[in-house]
Amino acid sequence: MLRQHIARVLVVTDVATPHQALIEAIHARAGRTPCQFRVVVTNPARAEVHLLHPERHDRAREAEEVLLQHLSALEEASGSPVIGSVSVFHDPMDAIEHTIHQEPVDEILLAVAAHPWATRLHQDLPHRLAHLGLPVTAVDVPLQKPH
């Protein structure tokens, strides 16, 4: 008897409080085929803060607390348990590459807002991920104030 493959979906977002569009995208994806979700929030510390600087770890801890408060909404949308964490990396590309080198991923759901100062960079992010050979779905989310 063949076991049905459960797709491992990496969800990358830049805010710990999930936007409604992301919740809806998770619900829609969960309804298509069996899958499990791994949510990674990019580090809210300023990009220029060194990886070992205490601010980066403090901001990650704060964001993780917020993410944990919202995990039940993500699990309700997915219909199954969701693993969530905050990356040490601020840049979504770095967070994605780090995650896929640590664990298996079959597809990426990208919910990163286009920041006014980096609109082109964020619009190009799905294209920049093409070298990974994974399906990428971009979710249109508005810019939110970080918590």
Instruction: Determine whether 91 is exposed, middle or buried from the number of CB atoms within 10 Å of its CB (0-12, 13-18, 19+).
Output: middle
Domains defined for the chain, CATH in brackets:
18-138 (3.40.50.620)
Tokens standing for residue 104 = 């298996």
Q: Which pTM was predicted?
A: 0.85
Cα–Cα dist 139/13, whole Å: 10
Contacts of 61 (CB under 8 A, 6+ apart): 86
Extract the residue ranges of the chain whose pLDDT is less than 50.
117-122, 146-147
Q: pLDDT, tens digit, for every residue of 32-41?
A: 999 999 999 9
